[in-house]
Structure 1
């Protein structure tokens, strides 16, 4: 199995590709062992003077930690690595570091920083001819537009990423872009298109054994089924998403799916279960320091407690939601920049409602 982002521009790249592919397989069952081996490999490569290969290995270690909500621990390491890549004139590796830093910032709701990092990643990827990093950066920039409620523009970035992915057969990126395109369709009320892309994402995730995207696909399919009023399907898919996310230690996804489970519980008349699910999601969001997810959980809890007659508790959660939402909005681009695609001919500019992207993928 090929690793999500094969190493580039290093004389030992062929041997490294084999080693990283093996560790990618190990990580599926023994993530802690894979993490230790990646760290040891990275240190050995640095000692041998193979800077580019060491940075490629760090990028894979980031992806492993990201799945379990521990990517934030690598922030300073990635920042130092980004400076090293720039100093060594390694644009492909600089793009990988910037793309990873953008994902950490996005998870925390630091959208200005995420925009800057993904813009830098795109610039470096274009300079290096690193198509994988370029595709990943475009996906990220599309997510920034989603965070601003600019769904059509975000979809344009994601379709561009899909076109550049082409027939390369990279299952990791194919799953990621399909799920993001599906989110754009879902948020604009195009359920049939959304479900088709979620299914494509699920197929690509299974093809490459990317369990985190398999779990995310089930979560999105649950949301689509719930929107259609298909409660049994929504329940089955959400249960699959929660189970996979818990086994992976994927806290971001488990928190997101917990909010959907809250909606399912309410549809079934289980208010106590809805509260438990939302509290669980809030605890996970706090663990990974995700402001957007915390804000959404507090809003859900305010609504639930108000419905139960606990007005004091509801007000406390509502104020916390407002505080977190304000923090997120301060970190959201507020005006047009050269990063943002202009409306196509005949298309009206989109509104800017400040809604949050439900998917951080």
Structure 2
């Protein structure tokens, strides 16, 4: 793979890095960021790494008024041998392009985007934390920058990658979280933008999340937007159920985000000889399985949280305590295996990890 020309301008004022033990999620940012510009008819250009700084945009920029923006989320990990490792970044850039296409935005060159990320990580390598459970969160995003108040796709865009050293996404860490099933608001419907990672999906979810948080719940579980009965996903995670030995997750249907961790869990379980059923599953079925003593485990999957066991579901006031409110054996095994692969503690049997120390021509 040929490395594209990326100019690097280093800051002359390095930040003081916080202690690994004090890291929160998404509150601290590194010294540099990656930027590329797009002009209609000319394509992506001016790929560069520059000091982290505020973005200057025209008040009429389309991103502010019509929501043309998409983003991704992935992580870099420091292995025991001090190497820096990425988990399936190619899949993230593929999904970024699917989101861009849905929002009528120009796709990025996936190979060039990965090269830009790797170069940025080389500049910011010292920011990758070492403490167990920590990582460097990576946020690529694309925004429409043209100043125009007409409802139409923009002619100019910018592609950014910023980095943030993080601790655990949930205060609970790997301990089970409590989930409130949403019965009033809707996240997405088939044919909408639910399958894209775009800002509007998250803004529309805030009201329900605020209500859930006030009641002591970590996240909201969304139901389908038509019949309001079938489980779709949790605010920041895809969701899995283990019912009477069968592992079930809602099928990708156009309104559910196709998670990279979700895909990895399905592939890992298949590697273990444990198939996952991808299908519709209603909350009635979940409640009936709980009442019958067959709801063995529930867990969420996502880049930020990796694996989040669910200890309690609240559906219309019916409280379902899952596995006695404790982390189940399957959730724990999946978490341990996936994080050990990411950290280089165990073999990577499915070839998921990109090692920053490898030559660029061997990555892709």
Compute the TM-score of the two structures, normalised by the length of structure 1.
0.28
Compute the TM-score of the two structures, normalised by the length of structure 2.
0.28
More strand by share: 2
Q: Which has the higher contact order (CA 8 A, sep 6+)?
A: 2
